[in-house]
Amino acid sequence: MTMLMDWFVVPLSYPFMQRALIVSLLVAAVCAVLSCYLVLKGWSLMGDAISHAVLPGIVVAYVIGLPLALGAFAAGLSCALLTGYLTENSRVKEDTVMGIVFSGMFGLGLVLFTKIESDQHLLHILFGNVLGVTPADLVETAIIAGGTLLIVLLKRRDLLLYCFDPNHARAIGLPVRVLHYGLLVLLSLTIVSALQVVGIILVIAMLIAPGATAYLLTDRFDRMLMIATATALFSAGFGTILSFHLDAATGACIVLVQAAIFVLAFLFAPKGGLVSLRRPISPPLEELS
Amino acid sequence: MLAELLVPFSYDYMVKAMWVSALVGGVCAFLSAYLMLKGWSLMGDALAHAIVPGVAGAYIIGAPFAAGAFFAGILAALGMAFVKQHTRLREDAVIGLVFTTFFAAGLLMASLWPTSVSIQTIVLGNILAISDEDATQVVIIAAISLAVLFLIWKDLLATFFDENHAKSIGLNTSVLKIVFFILLSACTVAALQTVGACLVIAMVVTPGATAYLLTDRFDRLIVIAVAFGAVTSFVGAYISYFLDGGTGGVIVTLQTLLFLAAFYFAPKHGVLAARRRALAPAKAAI
């Protein structure tokens, strides 16, 4: 028992591990809440696109001396807007345009990166560097993640209605365009806040897995939010500590713990889980009536 | 000046990099014509990320990277199909979930065995420093894929655009689809070595989309796309000599710029042409 306790407590005696844990938990919470909306709206791959597209923004912001988060945010948002513009004005399908825009921006970011002298480590941007979070980074992440979380939770009903049935939302007088762009802005902010923890490639996992897992377990949106947040927090905490013991990439550990939880839900969900499907104890109600 | 521009051609590794890139770019462009029209663009991205653990594993145990990549790719495709079939999740969420999990597994392997796997090479590609062994694998994969595509491009076209018609003229559409996906995984593996996992999507999407803005006929679309893919890859590798690296980034940036040019200036489907058409009736009325 003490050994088990030590396993969890010993890593936390290091200040860098404490900061890593706090920042992972924060980012996990905000990503989890957003993921519920993305899964419902079918925007999972939008997160993928925006997260790749932030790279040139980071490089440019570094060169001209702006905060990196600002550059990342601007680039992420312009990817989303550019995708919309190109789709509306050409006969190419949206998913294709999205692929072209985000890969083009990522490629441009790489070219810019090879041309500048920088103390930024490319692999840290790509895969996160949660163990190297400074107290200043922590404050920045806390402000961005906290602010995003607050806005989403305040507007959760409107956003839900917009994701679920945009036409109905418009009919009852909700500002649909504002909600659409608002959600894009919130998504970009979330990705920016997650850069430190999991990097731009794995943030997409944090923006899908918790919502997808919760979706398998419940039909009610409030519960979905809670389950998603709980699984994400657990994965972030457990993954961070696991990575300390394995001496492995933190972002990868967090994502793999989340994936393991998804697999468990997939197999054993009370309704519709694979294992419970195979052994029907009693026929479903619809068939009885 | 001219002598300076010809410098890359005097290095064996540069000549090798340019020709291998051109070959891979051409094959990927061939596939892009189908992917783009069918709306499967993001499948290429997902596959490229999903094969990362296979490549990492192959390097760790010293197997050919293509075998590992292929194995991981098939596993990911089966995983996606299985989860899709048994849950009510949307397809995009399932694709995203599976490929990020595979990618994270690859990253974990690379962080546990950092000496045998260079995650930077896998994610960003490194065609300028590709080993002869890896280059041979890439060339074999690309050449076989290209040959197969030349043989069956019409059958694939029939299968994807009018499956019933294809069946009625005696084509085995399910085999053709499987062949297509095997070709796609093979080309993803080849492209991974050239531009890296993150940019494979550009190679299998942008050439086709650009050609689609320039022509309405599918045979011309393929010719334009292949020429576009091969030339941009060749030139991109050439330019990257002067930038000291970032080959994948240069190739993809070049392709995106040309796509944007086609988006504006395409004779029939470009923005400017549309604007002209919108103005024409007004002028005629005057």
Q: What's the CATH code of the domain at B17? A: 1.10.3470.10
What pLDDT is recorded for position B62?
86
Tokens 């993954």: give the residue: A239
Give the residue extent of every domain in chain A. 8-266
Nearest chain A residue to B49 by CA: give it.
Answer: A201
Report CA-CA distances (Å) from A251 to A201, B95, B198.
Answer: 10, 19, 17
Contact A95 B41 (CB under 8 A): yes
Q: Is residue B272 part of a domain?
A: no
Q: CB neighbours of B251 closer than 8 A, spacing ≥ 6?
A: A107, B21, B25, B194, B195, B199, B202, B203, B232, B233, B236, B237, B240
Tokens 């990618």: give the residue: B103
- What is the full per-residue pLDDT of chain B (286 aa) written as tens digits? 778 888 888 888 888 889 999 999 999 999 999 888 887 888 888 888 999 999 899 988 888 888 898 889 889 988 988 898 888 888 888 998 999 999 999 989 988 888 777 888 888 888 888 888 888 888 999 999 999 999 988 888 888 888 888 888 888 888 888 888 888 888 888 888 888 888 888 999 999 999 999 998 988 999 999 999 999 999 999 998 888 778 889 999 999 999 999 999 888 888 888 888 888 776 666 6
Residues of chain B found within 8 Å of residue A105, distances taken between Cβ atoms: 256
Count structural domains, chain B.
1
What pLDDT is recorded for position B172?
84
Residue-wise pLDDT tens digits, B164-210:
888 888 888 888 888 888 888 888 888 888 888 888 889 999 999 99
Which residue range forms the structural domain that includes residue B196?
A: 7-263
Give the DSSP letter of residue B116. Answer: T
What pLDDT is recorded for position A283?
47
Chain A closest CA to B241's CA: distance in Å?
12
What pLDDT is recorded for position B177?
85
Q: Is pTM beyond 0.80 here?
A: yes
Q: CB neighbours of B237 closer than 8 A, spacing ≥ 6?
A: B14, B17, B18, B21, B22, B127, B128, B247, B250, B251
Is there a contact between A106 and B242 (Cβ–Cβ < 8 Å)? Answer: no
Q: CB neighbours of B270 closer than 8 A, spacing ≥ 6?
A: B213, B262, B263, B264
Q: Could you say which residues of chain A have pLDDT below 50?
A: 279-289
Interface test with B, best of A38, A91, A111 (most B CBs within 10 A): A111
Helix H or strand E segment including A68: helix A68-88
A229 token code pair? 């947040």
Residue-wise pLDDT tens digits, B255-284:
999 999 999 988 888 888 888 888 877 666
Q: Is residue B285 part of a domain?
A: no
A81/A163 Cα distance (integer angstroms): 18
Question: Whose CA is closest to A188, among A88, A65, A62, A82?
Answer: A82
Chain A closest CA to B196's CA: distance in Å?
10
What pLDDT is recorded for position A273?
74
Q: Touching check for B42 and chain A: CB below 8 Å?
A: yes
Task: Give B 211-230 residues with CB within 8 A of chain A.
Answer: 212-213
Q: Decide: residue A282, CB within 10 A, 0-12 exposed, 13-18 middle, 19+ buried.
A: exposed
Q: Which of B45, B112, B269 sits opposite A90 (nearest CB)?
A: B269
Contact A247 B110 (CB under 8 A): no
Chain A closest CA to B15's CA: distance in Å?
21
Q: Is residue B223 part of a domain?
A: yes
Contact B212 A262 (CB under 8 A): no
Contact A100 B269 (CB under 8 A): no
Q: Is residue B160 part of a domain?
A: yes
B179/B267 Cα distance (integer angstroms): 35
Count other Cβ atoms within 10 Å, centred on residue B54.
Answer: 28
Is there a contact between B85 and B108 (Cβ–Cβ < 8 Å)? Answer: no
Q: Which of A47, A111, A277 sits opposite B249 (nearest CB)?
A: A111
Residues of chain B with pLDDT > 70, as a percent, come to: 98
Residues of chain B found within 8 Å of residue A111, distances taken between Cβ atoms: 243, 246, 249-250, 253
ipTM of the complex: 0.88
Q: Which amino acid is at A103?
A: S
Contact A92 B83 (CB under 8 A): no
Q: Is residue B231 part of a domain?
A: yes
| CATH (one of 1.10.3470.10, 3.40.50.300, 3.40.50.970, 3.50.50.60) for A8-266 | 1.10.3470.10
Q: Is residue B273 part of a domain?
A: no
